[in-house]
Amino acid sequence: MTSTSDRSAERPADTGGAPAEESPQVLRTADTPDAAPEHLPTTTLPPSYPPVRRAASPEPRARTSQAPVERRRRGRSVLSALVAVVAVLVVTALIKTFVIQWFEIPSASMEDTLAVGDRVAVWMWGADDLERGDVVVFRDPDHWLTVTEPTGLRAAVQDLLILMHQLPEDTGHILIKRVIGLPGDHVVADGSGTLSVNGVVLDESYVKVGRSASDVAFDVVVPEGFIWVMGDNRSNSADSRYHQDDAHGGFVPMTDVIGEGAAVVWPVSSWAGLGDGTHAFDLVPEPGRAPDPARPEPEEGA
């Protein structure tokens, strides 16, 4: 067994810092090859590996590249929606202008055929093919209605809807009645509940129950280009009978006719067509030259 003193004895003597030949040569990290002594042996160092560089996460770049794509997609979606809305408005405007329009009944003048609040579909054919008994929508010919025009925002909205053909022109100045006389027809009421056209007394099933054909007496010949109209609720309809002192004599110019009533479309419980009224005139002949209204002979001595 070797003691500590023996080990000390085995160490080489200090020669002033010079390394002994038997000592292994170590290249310290502070030394450099240029500064190392020439007599130092070559030391084999482990191979140098470059640091591993990981690719940057692609997510931010992907987001950056996808952002314009997403914006373009949103832009196309908004544009498609606008085009769809415009297309719907254009198609609706064309249909309402040239095919069919909906009107709301504002009064009781057409009861029981039409009630207040009913929505009526109206063919926009004008007056070219009208028949006696048709229900027609027409513009106020000579201040038949007393209407308070809207103002402010409501007026602006109404004007915009009219401009877009979503509402008819002259909104608020439109009436709905039944055609009783066409051009040339001789229409007479005796004031006692009897109404005749061209000499034929009418049986009008559409007149409101409990109302007579007319409590107002009149005798008229419908001029060319005009029609004579009356409401089905005869005792509550300010129709042609009550405007004989107006500019048109109570007749409605055919140029003011907007269209022919087709059916009640709302409410669902009131669904019904409006074409049955023509049957009341099946026996009425075509108009001839209507005689002047009969006048009583003056009494002798009068």
CA distance 7 to 160: 114
258-302: per-residue pLDDT in tens?
999 999 999 988 889 998 899 999 999 998 754 444 444 444 443
Using the structure block, give the residue that is written with the tokens 């500019």: 247
Highest mean pLDDT among 141-145, 166-170, 282-286: 282-286
pTM, rounded to two decimals: 0.65
What is the pLDDT at residue 177?
97
Residues paired with 221 in a beta bridge: 186
